[in-house]
């Protein structure tokens, strides 16, 4: 086994300097703060990235008694994000209601020809879309991971040395307080977002990204009142050739943004167009922040290699059509963390690639592969042209479509289906596509409709 030099490790939480040997796998007693018992853990895990994916992973690992380090380069920063999260996330991740800025109960979708459909009319009285500020949500989740026993290291990870043998450690190089440090660990979860350093280190391959651009605009009181519980989605070639533009309400301002995959160089022009379409509603508003960030379009070619697993945006878990990624980040982080706890028997056993594949990747794909694929197809049909978008908005007017859409978005489960309504929806969809000229009559005739 290769011997690494003893390395001082900066420990910001407790302001102490520890010394870690490279992989000697010396048993260490780890206090699991959420449980009443103290277990003996061998496994050392590092989570790179302290967003929803990383914090949820670290929380699961530490709760399972694993010696856990979570690296975050800028804990005070706010990730550029719309901040919309589904109802089920509040329960599943015990998000307290005081973190929610706005409870959106109205949702408008506006077509290229300005046909407007009120998309929220089937919401039940206790249903809403939560709008959070990412700096608030991320801080809360990170703090909870620390409370469970994870050690937060405020540092930029600069490099990861791969192990020399099956059981030797990964060496993480990081900069904290202008000082270079290293840490030896057995397992790594890469939760470091779309530009993932961890993914590069394990040669996980590239994915296509959209670029999303967003302006935070503080509105005069009367204008803000209009957006109090209302979110808007704008579709059209002007606002984006392959995505949608949005206005999301925040605590004291709105987030106005758009995204594109195929025409990134024109993102500012699309942002100008969306601002133009909402002009009268945001008149007198002041731009307080401008932000942009990539959004992955597909899962990475490789999501597990060796004892490293990717989660959240680093893995590419953002759905097409909606650009939703917060819930999937938290869910994949938790799933991966829990998988490691199971496979390592609460940190008592070394794990390998096969364990990560079985306990995390396979479970994730079983649960979400079809959802991601389905939304991929929908995006191609409905966001590809103005005609497709008109058809989409027309369909969104149907109560059954709204109910099915909200049930699957809010609860992340397949809604209870009604065969008769399903058949009607299929006919409506085809009718809308034909009327909009997306699908030719002759194609439908040939298909027997
Ligand atoms: C403009 C925009 C709007 C969006 N709107 C929504 C929305 O309304 N709803 C929704 O569900 N999703 C939305 N998304 C997607 C959502 O933001 C992401 O899917 C989600 O943030 C993914 O979480 P994550 O934890 O995987 O990654 P991130 O949130 O990107 O977190 C990664 C963390 O890793 C840290 N990090 C990175 N590299 C290093 C390093 N080398 N060392 C140490 N730390 C590092 C970063 O500082 C960051 O905190 C939006 C995205 C954009 C760009």
Q: What is the pLDDT of residue 406?
A: 82
- Coil, strand or helix: which one is 297? coil
Residue 171 near residue 160 (C-beta atoms within 8 A) = yes
Distance 51 CA to ligand 1 centre (A): 6
DSSP 333-378: HHHHHHHHHHHTTTTTS---HHHHIIIIIHHHHHHHHHHHHHHHHH
Q: Determine whether 284 is exposed, middle or buried from the number of CB atoms within 10 Å of its CB (0-12, 13-18, 19+).
A: exposed
Distance 74 CA to ligand 1 centre (A): 12
Domains defined for the chain, CATH in brackets: 7-77+136-206+300-371 (3.50.50.60), 84-133+208-296 (3.30.9.10), 381-446 (no CATH)
For residue range 208-220, what is the model confidence (pLDDT) as tens digits? 999 999 999 999 9
Identify the band that residue 391 occupies on the pLDDT scale cut at 50, 70 and 90: confident
- Coil, strand or helix: which one is 114? coil
In terms of phi and psi (left: phi > 0; alpha: psi -120 to 50; beta: otherwise), the region of 331 is alpha
For residue range 22-72, what is the model confidence (pLDDT) as tens digits? 333 343 444 444 443 444 558 999 999 999 999 999 999 999 999 999 999
Ligand 1 nearest atom to the CA of residue 214, by list position: 1
Query: Distance between CA 256 and CA 101 in Å, rounded?
Result: 16
Distance 373 CA to ligand 1 centre (A): 22
Of 3 and 149, the one with more pLDDT: 149
Mutate to test the pocket of ligand 1, among 75, 88, 192 (most ligand atoms within 8 A of CB): 192
Mutate to test the pocket of ligand 1, among 295, 297, 316, 333 (most ligand atoms within 8 A of CB): 295
Nearest CA to ligand 1 atom 31: 51
Residue 278 near residue 232 (C-beta atoms within 8 A) = yes
Ligand 1 nearest atom to the CA of residue 248, by list position: 8
Identify the band that residue 412 occupies on the pLDDT scale cut at 50, 70 and 90: confident
Q: Which stretch of 34-48, 72-86, 333-347, 388-402 has the lowest confidence by average pLDDT?
A: 34-48
Structural tokens at position 6? 């003893």
Ligand 1 nearest atom to the CA of residue 194, by list position: 30
Mutate to test the pocket of ligand 1, among 57, 82, 311 (most ligand atoms within 8 A of CB): 82
For residue range 316-346, what is the model confidence (pLDDT) as tens digits? 999 987 889 999 999 999 999 999 999 999 9
Distance 159 CA to ligand 1 centre (A): 20
Q: What is the pLDDT of residue 374?
A: 76
Q: Rounded to the nearest 10 degrees, what angle do helices 386-396 and 362-382 cross at?
A: 110
pTM score: 0.86
Identify the band that residue 420 occupies on the pLDDT scale cut at 50, 70 and 90: low
Nearest CA to ligand 1 atom 37: 192
Ligand 1 nearest atom to the CA of residue 174, by list position: 42
Q: Which stretch of 117-131, 156-170, 269-283, 404-418 has the lowest confidence by average pLDDT?
A: 404-418
Residue 169 near residue 4 (C-beta atoms within 8 A) = yes
Which residues approach ligand 1 with their CB closer than 6 A? 48-54, 71-74, 79-85, 156-157, 191-193, 197, 212, 214, 257, 293, 295, 312-314, 318, 323-327, 329
Ligand 1 nearest atom to the CA of residue 71, by list position: 43
Query: Distance between CA 58 and CA 68 in Å, rounded?
Result: 6
Distance 163 CA to ligand 1 centre (A): 28
For residue range 302-322, what is the model confidence (pLDDT) as tens digits? 999 999 999 999 999 999 878
Distance 195 CA to ligand 1 centre (A): 10
Residue 271 near residue 258 (C-beta atoms within 8 A) = yes
Nearest CA to ligand 1 atom 5: 82
Q: What are phi and psi of 228, to 5 degrees?
A: -45, -55
Ligand 1 nearest atom to the CA of residue 325, by list position: 19
Q: What are phi and psi of 136, to 5 degrees?
A: -75, -50
Residue 349 near residue 42 (C-beta atoms within 8 A) = yes
Structural tokens at position 202? 């394990």
Q: CA dist 242 to 149, 245, 313, Å? A: 43, 10, 20
Helix H or strand E segment including 215: strand 209-218
Q: What are phi and psi of 50, to 5 degrees?
A: -115, 35
For residue range 361-385, what is the model confidence (pLDDT) as tens digits? 999 999 998 888 877 777 777 777 8
Identify the band that residue 194 occupies on the pLDDT scale cut at 50, 70 and 90: very high
Nearest CA to ligand 1 atom 10: 324
- Residue closest to 78 by CA, chosen among 316, 253, 309, 271: 253
E-state strands within 105-186: 106-110, 116-118, 129-132, 151-154, 156-161, 170-176, 179-185
Identify the band that residue 284 occupies on the pLDDT scale cut at 50, 70 and 90: very high
Structural tokens at position 408? 């699957």
Distance 313 CA to ligand 1 centre (A): 7
Q: CA dist 151 to 10, 47, 210, 332, 348, Å? A: 11, 10, 33, 20, 19
Nearest CA to ligand 1 atom 6: 82
Q: What is the pLDDT of residue 226?
A: 96
Distance 319 CA to ligand 1 centre (A): 14
Q: Give me the half-sphere count of Cα atoms (radius 13 Å) on the Cβ side of residue 420.
A: 0
DSSP 47-112: EE--SHHHHHHHHHHHHTT-EEEEEES-TT---S---EE-HHHHHHTT--GGGEEEEE-EEEEE-T
Query: Distance between CA 210 and CA 76 in Å, rounded?
Result: 25
Query: Distance between CA 387 and CA 381 in Å, rounded?
Result: 10
Nearest CA to ligand 1 atom 21: 326
Q: What are phi and psi of 225, to 5 degrees?
A: -55, -40
**Percent of residues, the chain, with pLDDT higher than 90:** 68
């Amino acid at each position: 086994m290769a011997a690494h030099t003893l390395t001082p490790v900066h420990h910001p939480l407790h302001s102490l300097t520890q010394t870690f040997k490279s992989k000697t796998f010396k048993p260490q007693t780890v206090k699991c703060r959420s449980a009443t018992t103290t277990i003996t853990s061998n496994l050392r895990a590092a989570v790179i990235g302290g967003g929803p994916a990383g914090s949820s992973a670290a929380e699961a690992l530490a709760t399972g008694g694993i010696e856990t380090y979570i690296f975050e380069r800028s804990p005070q920063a706010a990730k550029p994000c719309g901040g919309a999260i589904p109802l089920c996330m509040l329960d599943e991740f015990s998000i307290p209601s005081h973190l929610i800025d706005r409870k959106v109960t109205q949702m408008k979708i506006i077509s290229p020809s300005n046909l407007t459909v009120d998309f929220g009319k089937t919401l039940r009285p206790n249903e809403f879309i939560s709008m959070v500020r990412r700096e608030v949500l991320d801080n809360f989740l990170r703090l909870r991971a620390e409370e469970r026993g994870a050690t937060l290291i405020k540092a930029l990870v600069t490099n990861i040395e791969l192990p020399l043998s099956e059981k030797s450690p990964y060496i993480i190089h990081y900069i904290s307080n202008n000082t270079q440090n290293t840490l030896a660990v057995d397992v790594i979860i890469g939760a470091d977002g779309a530009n993932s350093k961890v993914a590069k280190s394990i040669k996980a391959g590239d994915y296509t990204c959209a670029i999303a651009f967003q302006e935070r605009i503080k509105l005069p009181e009367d204008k803000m009142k209009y957006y109090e519980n209302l979110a808007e989605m704008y579709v059209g070639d002007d606002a984006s050739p392959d995505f949608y533009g949005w206005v999301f309400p925040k605590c004291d301002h709105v987030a106005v943004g758009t995204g594109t995959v195929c025409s990134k160089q024109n993102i500012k022009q699309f942002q100008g167009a969306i601002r133009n379409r909402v002009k009268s509603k945001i008149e007198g508003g002041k731009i307080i922040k401008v932000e942009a960030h990539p959004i992955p379009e597909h899962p990475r070619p490789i999501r597990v290699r060796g004892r490293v697993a990717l989660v959240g945006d680093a893995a590419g878990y953002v759905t097409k059509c909606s650009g939703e990624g917060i819930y999937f980040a938290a869910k994949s982080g938790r799933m991966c963390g829990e998988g490691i706890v199971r496979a390592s028997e609460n940190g008592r056993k070394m794990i390998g690639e096969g364990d990560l594949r079985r306990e995390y990747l396979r479970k994730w794909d079983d649960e979400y592969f079809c959802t991601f694929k389905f939304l991929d197809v929908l995006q191609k049909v409905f966001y590809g042209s103005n005609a497709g978008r008109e058809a989409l908005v027309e369909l969104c007017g149907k109560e059954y479509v709204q109910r099915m859409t909200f049930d699957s978005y809010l609860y992340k489960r397949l809604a209870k289906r009604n065969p008769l309504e399903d058949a009607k929806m299929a006919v409506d969809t085809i009718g809308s596509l034909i009327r909009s000229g997306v699908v030719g009559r002759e194609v439908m005739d040939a298909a027997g409709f």
